[in-house]
Each structure stands twice: as C-alpha cells, then as structure tokens.
C-alpha cells in the first residue's frame, strides 16, 4: 500500500460519520472524491438517465432520478441514516453561467436550480454545504442570493475560485468552490505548490498508443475520433503548446482568416506533455474543439484520456459492458463532471472540520 493510499484509509477510519447527499450528481465525480476522503455519500440525485449507470457502477450510493426542483426534504432526510454530521453537496448545471454561453440567462430553466439548492438547505438544515461551479457564477445575483440564504440560516460561508491543478487534477480548470458550516468558519485546504502539479505525461503517457479512429480492444472508452485528410495534415503541422498560427496558410480555416476569428487561438492545438491539460470541455474528444490534440500521436485525445485528465480512476465505468458508446453523450458527462481530485480536497476539508467540531463537543461534555 502506498503512503497516499494509507493516508486516505487512515482518514476514512478515524473520521466522524459524515453522511452526504450529492445533488446534480452527474456520473459521480464529486461523490467519488468525497468518498475517498471518508465521507459516506448515501445518494446521488440527477435528472439525466445517462448518469445512472456510471454513478451506481462506481459508487456505493443510490441514484434518484429526479429534478432538484421537484425534491422535497422527505426525499432526502431518511437517507442520512444515523450520520453524526449531514452534508448537502452538489454542482448545479453550469451552462447558464458559463462565459461561453453568454446568451443564456434567467430564461434558461437551469438558472433557478441554485435557488432550489438553497430551498433544500433551508428545509433540511444540514451541518455542512458544498457547491462547485464555474467562476462566472460568483458575479450573478442568483449566487449572491444563495450565499445570503445560507448566512441567514446561520451558516459560516466561504468561497473562492481555485485552479484544479493546485489540488492534484492534471488540468488547468478554474472553478468556484463554496463551503458552508453551521459549526464555525471553514475554508478549503491549502493547495499544493506548482512544482507538484500533475502533468499530461503523469496522467496518460502509459496508455496504449492509438491511431485516429482506432479503438483499444481492451478498453472501448480508449477510442479516438477519425480525422479528415485536412485535419490530419493540420495535426501533423501542430506542435505541443502551439496554435494554428504556426501552420502554412493553406491549412488555416477560413473563419480564422477573418478578423473576428483571429483571436481564437486555443483550437486545433496539441497538449504539452509537461504541463497540465487545458480545461476539459464536453467536446474534448474533437481536435478542432480546443487544444485537445495528443502531445505526439496524430489524433485527438480519447474518451478515456479525457476522463483521466478529469482525475477519474483509470477503470471508471461509463457505459455497460457491450453497449454502444456514444461519444457526444460520454464526452458531455465527463466534461461536465466535478474533477475527482478536487472533490477529494473538498472532502478532506469537511472531514477535518467535522473532526474539529466533534473534538469541541467532546471537550465541552
């Protein structure tokens, strides 16, 4: 057993019983990370039926297929069992608040789901709350209202935008992380130093090589998209960390020749081996969708590589064995997930805080 594995096991064994429910659980990135830190996640809730198999196949938790807008406290309360501390966790859909979706707004039904998160917090009165989302959410009134709701309920609230690379994720992904406790101030644990960041090489260098359009016979998720002859010439002209500006003009897309497209450099590029990956989007499996070219193989990264760069375990299951794999669906589920290592850091913060709370109670008694 490695020292790291020993530390996690030790944390799990000594931790006070923190029971959790994961709202907007997706495929279970937040649940998996919380569980690694010693939090007992009893149930995940999501409206997307495509999430049920990966969530239950990889996590010791139930799945409730229901919109959070329709949830009541009765749906949740009994799931905590005899947990000493209750945690309500979740990542409301981020698309309405993303800087890439500026046309979305309050008219989008997902905009108000954070309000239902606040409603459930008021009805359930858990000990702790955590939420992860895109940084742009912090600028919105709906987030300010959520924070005000929690503070009115007596929660100590902290939130900050963090780079997931600082918490062991091999990816440059900036996210808003909120933590709240009814038992005292709480703040996310300290990040690791930059010289300890995980790189693309650390994450995926040991995976079997692939050709564009090939599927690994031992892992169907390790598959890459086919490339057109033009895109094959483009990727062969690309260098790690470079842009389409480095190409011969004959390879540059027409849209990038226009003034409106000249600023979009982070597409049609290769990743760098010795840096964290760029942010995994829901289209990360497409060479033209971002800097998602493999550092040295002439292809876009595979579905599995994207999952690993999101810090999912290498054997994480996303589809039942033998079922067809729909790249757009699986890519969306992986790209939308909470990175497991960030979730683990959140879980470690909550477990340590719960330990301190339990110690104070014991001392007072």
Q: Which residues is 20 bridged to in the sheet? A: 41, 87
* H, E, C per residue of 107-165: CCHHHHHHHHHHHHHHHHCCCEEEEEECHHHHHCHHHHHHHHHHHHCCCEEEEEEEEHH
Give the active site residue among 51, 94, 164, 225: 94
Q: Which residues is 181 bridged to in the sheet? A: 128, 156
DSSP class per residue in 59-110 = SSSEEEE--GGG--HHHHGGGGTT-SEEEEEE----GGG-TT-TT--TTSGG
DSSP conformational letter for 19: E
Cβ contacts of 90 within 8 Å, gap of 6 or more: 22, 23, 24, 25, 30, 68, 117, 130, 131
Backbone angles phi, psi at 234, to 5 degrees: -65, -45
SS3 33: helix
Does 94 participate in catalysis according to the annotation? Answer: yes
Token pair belonging to 302? 């595979």
Q: What CA–CA distance (Å, rounded) separates 105 from 115?
A: 14
- List, by residue number, the catalytic residues: 94
């Amino acid at each position: 057993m490695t020292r790291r594995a020993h530390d996690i096991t030790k944390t799990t064994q000594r931790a006070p019983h923190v029971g959790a429910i994961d709202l907007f659980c997706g495929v279970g990135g937040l649940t998996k990370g919380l569980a690694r830190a010693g939090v007992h996640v009893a149930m995940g809730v999501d409206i997307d039926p495509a999430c049920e198999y990966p969530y239950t196949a990889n996590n010791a938790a139930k799945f409730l297929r229901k919109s959070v807008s329709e949830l009541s406290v009765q749906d949740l309360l009994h799931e905590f069992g005899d947990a000493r501390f209750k945690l309500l966790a979740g990542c409301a859909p981020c698309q309405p608040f993303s800087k890439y979706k500026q046309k979305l707004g309050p008219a989008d039904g997902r905009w108000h789901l954070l309000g239902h998160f606040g409603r459930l917090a008021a009805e359930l009165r858990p000990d702790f709350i955590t939420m992860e989302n895109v940084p742009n959410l912090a600028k919105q009134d709906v987030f300010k209202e959520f924070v005000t709701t929690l503070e009115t309920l007596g929660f100590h609230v902290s939130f900050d935008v963090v780079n997931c690379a600082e918490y062991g994720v091999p990816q440059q992904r900036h996210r808003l992380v909120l933590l709240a406790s009814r038992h005292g101030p709480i703040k996310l644990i300290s990040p690791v130093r930059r010289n300890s960041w995980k790189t693309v090489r650390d994450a995926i260098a040991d995976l079997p090589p692939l050709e564009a359009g090939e599927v690994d016979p031992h892992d169907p998720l390790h598959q890459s998209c086919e490339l057109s002859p033009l895109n094959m010439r483009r990727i062969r002209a690309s260098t790690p960390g470079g842009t389409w500006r480095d190409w011969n003009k004959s390879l540059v897309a027409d849209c990038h020749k226009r003034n409106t497209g000249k600023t979009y450099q982070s597409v049609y590029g290769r990743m760098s081996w010795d840096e964290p990956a760029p942010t995994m989007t829901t289209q990360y499996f497409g060479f033209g969708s971002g800097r998602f070219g493999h550092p040295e193989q002439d292809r876009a990264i595979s579905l599995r590589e994207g999952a690993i760069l999101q810090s999912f375990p290498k054997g994480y299951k996303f589809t039942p064995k033998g079922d067809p794999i729909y790249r757009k669906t699986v890519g969306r589920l992986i790209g939308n997930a909470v990175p497991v290592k960030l979730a683990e850091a959140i879980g470690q913060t909550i477990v340590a805080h719960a330990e301190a709370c339990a110690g104070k109670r014991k001392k007072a008694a």
